[in-house]
């Protein structure tokens, strides 16, 4: 826990003031001095003087020194009180870390939890309104390294606003995000409990599914352009948790564009799509035009809501659970190894 200041003692006068001649210590001895309680009175005076000096110096807070996910060092004089979030997933993780009351601004689509919907918006994660951010007087901005524009982040830093960059690439990075956000906001206990719960749930899924027979998966983010994810993406880590193999693991960009021919050549056993909302995207079933595709032949075309897989938050384990169940269904359909 971070040290906090002792409340400043009230300055009192009159017969009840411990520093006056009418104090109990003074009244206990003749003429108000030289009595047996005088040393105690001096100790009280010394304690009071020290407290007043400390109060004059301001609250006692430990400086926070921390590295963000890009390796940059950030220093804060104490826990942040006014935080602006520049990504929906950052907003959600802040609330999960117990720092929701410190969030004063968010970007569009910061819709979870419900309380986040009522917060002032400062544009979108790729189109930040600098004036709106500055008007909120933040003492900390938390950005998304691969999602926010570098020019926006540089301008915020030039304004003297501390900027912490978040970039989860593995499931355990979400647990670390919880811990670090809790440290930045002074909500360490809540954040640590949330991180521990996340790791425990991840470990349960890994124990059940990670060593199961591998299933080749094509994860489709969008249709036009045809977008997927590479092996460095957080979703690929969730796949590995379930015993899945990303057929485009080796591509360079985090979210590469691929062609239909590449998907047909990779011949995935399962295709999982997310789309933009809670409804199954109609374009997922367009793969049925290629009946020789393994995923189509086995009827392994599945949908997982994007909020459960494409946001770098604790809810990704809800998506991972669905993915693990999907891959178990695919294994059960194999004619040569029923049930895997």
Map out the domains of the chain as residue ranges. 1-60, 64-195, 212-332
Q: Does pLDDT of 33 surpass 70?
A: no
Average pLDDT of the chain to the nearest whole number: 85
pTM: 0.79
Return the pLDDT at 40: 56
Q: For residue 28, what are its two tokens?
A: 């206990």
Q: For residue 134, what are its two tokens?
A: 């500055």
Return the pLDDT at 58: 42
Hunting for tokens 């602006």 — which residue is that? 84
Q: For residue 59, what are its two tokens?
A: 């609250």
Q: Dihedrals φ, ψ of 9, to 5°?
A: -70, 145
- CB environment 235-264: b (16+ within 10 A), e (fewer): bbbbbbbbbbbbbbbebeeebbebeeebbe
Return the pLDDT at 335: 86
Return the pLDDT at 278: 79
Classified by CATH at the fold level, domain 212-332 comes out as: Rossmann fold (3.40.50)
- Per-residue model confidence as pLDDT tens digits over 235-289: 999 999 999 999 999 998 999 999 999 999 999 999 999 877 778 888 999 999 9
Domain pair 64-195 / 212-332, same fold:
yes
Residue 226 CB neighbour total at 10 angstroms:
17
Q: Are 140 and 120 in contact (CB under 8 A)?
A: no
Distance CA 124, CA 122 (A): 7
pLDDT band with cut points at 50, 70 and 90 for residue 163: very high
Return the pLDDT at 41: 54
pLDDT band with cut points at 50, 70 and 90 for residue 28: very low
Instruction: Name 36's Cβ contacts closer than 8 Å, sequence gap at least 6.
Output: 28, 29
Q: Which CATH number fits domain 64-195: 3.40.50.300, 3.40.50.1980, 3.40.640.10, 3.30.70.260?
A: 3.40.50.1980
Helix, strand or coil for residue 53?
helix
Q: Are 78 and 2 in contact (CB under 8 A)?
A: yes
Quote the radius of gyration of the chain (alpha carbons, Å). Answer: 29
Where do the DSSP E strands lie in 49-158? 64-67, 73-76, 83-85, 103-105, 123-124, 127-128, 140-144
Return the pLDDT at 77: 96
- Per-residue model confidence as pLDDT tens digits over 170-227: 999 999 999 999 999 999 999 999 999 999 999 999 999 999 999 999 999 999 999 9
């Amino acid at each position: 826990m971070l040290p906090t200041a002792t409340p400043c003692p009230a300055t009192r006068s009159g017969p009840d003031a411990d520093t006056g001649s009418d104090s109990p210590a003074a009244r206990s001895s003749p003429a108000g001095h030289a009595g047996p309680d005088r040393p105690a009175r001096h100790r009280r005076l010394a304690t009071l003087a020290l407290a007043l000096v400390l109060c004059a110096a301001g609250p006692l807070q430990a400086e926070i020194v921390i590295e963000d996910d890009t390796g940059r060092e950030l220093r804060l004089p104490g826990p942040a009180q006014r935080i602006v979030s520049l990504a929906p997933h950052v907003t959600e993780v802040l609330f999960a870390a117990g720092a929701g009351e410190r969030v004063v601004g968010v970007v569009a689509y910061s819709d979870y939890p419900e309380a986040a919907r009522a917060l002032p918006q400062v544009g979108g994660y790729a189109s930040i309104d600098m004036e709106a951010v500055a008007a909120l007087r933040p003492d900390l901005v938390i950005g998304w390294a691969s999602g926010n524009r570098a020019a926006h982040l540089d301008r915020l830093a030039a304004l003297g606003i501390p900027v912490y960059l978040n970039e989860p690439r593995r499931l355990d990075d979400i647990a670390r995000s919880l811990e670090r956000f809790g440290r930045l906001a002074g909500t360490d206990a809540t954040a640590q409990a949330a991180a521990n719960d996340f790791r425990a749930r991840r470990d349960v899924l890994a124990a059940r599914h990670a060593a199961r027979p591998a299933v080749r998966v094509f994860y489709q983010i969008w249709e036009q352009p045809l977008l997927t994810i590479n092996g460095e993406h957080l979703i690929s880590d969730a796949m590995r948790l379930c015993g899945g193999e990303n057929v485009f693991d080796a591509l360079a960009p985090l979210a590469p564009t691929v062609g239909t021919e590449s998907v047909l050549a990779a011949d995935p056993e399962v295709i999982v799509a997310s789309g933009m909302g809670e409804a199954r995207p109609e374009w997922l079933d367009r793969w049925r035009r290629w009946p020789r595709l393994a995923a189509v032949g086995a009827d392994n075309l599945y949908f997982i809501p994007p909020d459960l897989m494409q946001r770098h938050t604790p809810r990704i384990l809800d998506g991972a659970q669905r993915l693990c169940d999907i891959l178990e269904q695919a294994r059960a359909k194999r004619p040569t190894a029923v049930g895997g």
